[in-house]
Structure 1
């Protein structure tokens, strides 16, 4: 019964998404403007989280400056939502016009040498449209690491949309195995890692100073990159104008195997912070990224032989 319910819900969601995606951009952006008024001024979606994140990230800015960034964020976020809906029906030509890439010559050079590439990205701009990268690179497999949704039907829906333009979705728990399989088959891969998520408590192994705050960071991508000798590339995303983005690729390190532990992660977050400071309104401020603090971690957890354990006598109450 439950399975039939979710399947029906999936079909309804697919139909709604498809019909909405058929609308032209001017109509979708009109919806976005109305959506903005609701989200920013009526519902005030995650207003406290956004305000706290901005104040802590930019203590040097005035209240007026922070307010402008917050309103700019709401405008961009509403656009991002309708742009993601539109992805279901966008053609190759539309995407190549609206989501451009620079630095692909270097990517193609590396791929022609049989080398695989790790592209580090953040929740900046429209990361969903970056799945159009296969149109810009040659003779390779383009894939992205993602967290599968708990609901298998909605996971299938999002996976379908993200793979429409030949970028493959690889579940995080299968990432290393899949990348090694491609390597054994002689296929260079371009792997996208969106690595600015908040790790679970037991996955915290490294802390950095990011946007003026002590921040726990994911390090699993770095282990995969070093193990498979991928070239470390940063994707610097900018919003050129409404509905138009560019991702500029910069090779940060070609030899990643010999790098000290956590250097890839540290370099990535330095690059990401520069991108955010340039266009702060197109970053995902609504995510409660700094909810896990170093003080709480040190109080409740300890790392033993590379694994995080709950301290003796402590209970998970949060």
Structure 2
């Protein structure tokens, strides 16, 4: 009976996601032109047909992302293993055993909400930043939802100060979504996805200040609503590699991940907002509609 209920619930969530997909792509096109521009510029050798297919695949994935946090909200811890698989946890265990704290560099790729199950894989503290919402009830509900597996949620405005001041006597994992767009063009940029890209280096700065190990989270979507998380070491000694070296390694790894399954990245985010001021030729996305 329990298995039947689980299957019916999964069918219901996927049916809702199918409806959301149709709304986002057809009825109320959500930033579709931005998605087209981003993909066309980042994959200049892809054909118009391939870009169309990538856009459709992206909106299917985006619809799944909308329902997945709610889909797992009451799922028992044992049932989560059906949808989230971790690889190379031995790396995390070894670093923690060496009394190292870890800056885990994740991305707007796959399902970052699923990563909040990380405390089930380790005995050390796991911290993650969040952006509070203005509605107090909704904010409290989201915090409860995101913290149900044991993650310590910290407001984004306090993240840098509190991570630097976190207990230095015991190991911790600081989960960072490191591909954030900076609030303005800034001075740090690199070549990423065939484009000059301004970056935030806050995650690397924390790692260097605390001399953490830095680990990259590689993500694969193996089937619908199911993700494979693999830990890959960037450096065990952040101070030796430095901020610039860490960010360069991270964005190269992320580029390889995106090229493997492009539809899983957050293309509807205006990642290159500042580049329209730099004389970049516009892409005529309308002909792709």
TM-score w.r.t. the length of structure 2 is 0.89
- Find the aligned partners of 2:102 and 2:52 in 1 and give their Cα distance: 38
The match for 1:278 among 260, 264, 268 is: 260
In the TM superposition, what are the counterparts of 1:1-318 in structure 2 within 5 Å?
Answer: 24-137=9-122, 139-184=123-168, 186-201=169-184, 204-293=186-275, 295=277
Unaligned 5+ residue runs, structure 2? Answer: 1-5, 280-289
- Whether the 8 Å contact between 2:164 and 2:206 is mirrored in structure 1 is no
Residue 34 of structure 1 and its aligned partner are, at CA, apart by 1.6
Contact 1:96 1:132 in 2 (8 A): no
Task: Work out the CA distance in 2 between the residues paired with 1:27 and 1:243.
Answer: 13
The answer on whether the counterparts of 2:164 and 2:209 sit within 8 Å (CA) in structure 1 is: no
- Alpha-carbon distance in structure 2 between the residues aligned to 1:289 and 1:220: 17
Select between 53-62 and 110-119 the one with higher mean Cα deviation: 110-119
> What are the Cα deviations for residues 122-171 of structure 1, in whole angstroms up to 9, with x where unaligned?
1111100110011112x310111233334444332222211011011122
Contact 1:182 1:188 in 2 (8 A): no
**Consecutive aligned runs of 4 or more in structure 1 exceeding 3 Å deviation:** 150-153, 294-297
Q: Mean Cα displacement is larger for which, 233-242 or 42-51?
A: 42-51
- Aligned counterpart, 1:300: none
Give the structure-1-normalised TM-score: 0.81
CA-CA distance at 1:109 after TM superposition: 1.1
Greater Rg by CA: 1
Choose between structure 1 and 2 for higher RCO, CA contacts under 8 A separated by at least 6 residues.
Answer: 2
The CA distance in 1 between the partners of 2:239 and 2:159, in whole Å, is: 18
Contact 2:201 2:243 in 1 (8 A): no
Shift of 1:84: 1.7
**Residue deviations 1:199-219, cap 9 Å, x none?**
1117x2301111111111111
Checking the alignment, whether the CA contact within 8 Å between 1:198 and 1:218 is kept in structure 2 is yes
